[in-house]
Amino acid sequence: METPLIDPQYPIGKAELPARPLTAAERAGYIEQLAALPAELTAAARQAGGVRLEQPYRPGGWSGRQVIHHVADVHLNFYLRYRLALTEDHPTIRPFELNAWATLPDNDAVPVTVSLALLEALHSRWVTLLWHLTDAQWQRTFYHPLQDRSYSLDQALVLYSWHGRHHTAHVALLAEPGAP
């Protein structure tokens, strides 16, 4: 039996957002995925090793180092989006240029262990917040101007959980036999 080919750009597939509110059990599963992310990304980085982290996970893609720093950068923003949505009425979030952030000089100067430690602390705070939200709070929203759409915190949970798993899979690709 042949193993299906994995798309290196979307190794776990694309995110699928729910059209309805999540159940408590569904939320719990996504929160657990966010809680596990720092350890899983750290394990994938260790498995790939230092030299491979300097290489792109696919042609035209970011290096493993850039991916790890990206996850820390973006998850900081994701956490703040939750806090804004919980304290303001349908706030407009501030988008940022992902590719420009990936090439800032700290990405080359700072070891990936710094971003992995940051994710550990950040996810500890974020996950604690998420476990304490009410059903009504999960339905609060924010507006993303570049995507011209609103997201409920339920939808954001699904998307942000996917984001961490998506990039962990990118780093894991670097550990596979025949990786760059």
| In this structure, CATH architecture of domain 24-173 | Up-down Bundle (1.20)
Q: Which of 61-75, 136-150, 165-179 has the lowest mean pLDDT?
A: 165-179
Long-range contacts of 14-20 (CB under 8 A, 24+ apart): 15/158, 15/159, 15/162, 15/163, 15/166, 16/158, 17/151, 17/155, 17/158, 17/159, 18/154, 18/155, 18/158
Could you report the per-residue pLDDT of 90-123, keeping only the tens digit for each? 999 999 999 999 999 999 999 999 999 999 999 9
pLDDT band at 171 (very low <50, low <70, confident <90, very high): very high
Identify which has the larger pLDDT, 146 or 176: 146
**pLDDT surpasses 60 at 83:** yes
Single pTM value for the model = 0.94
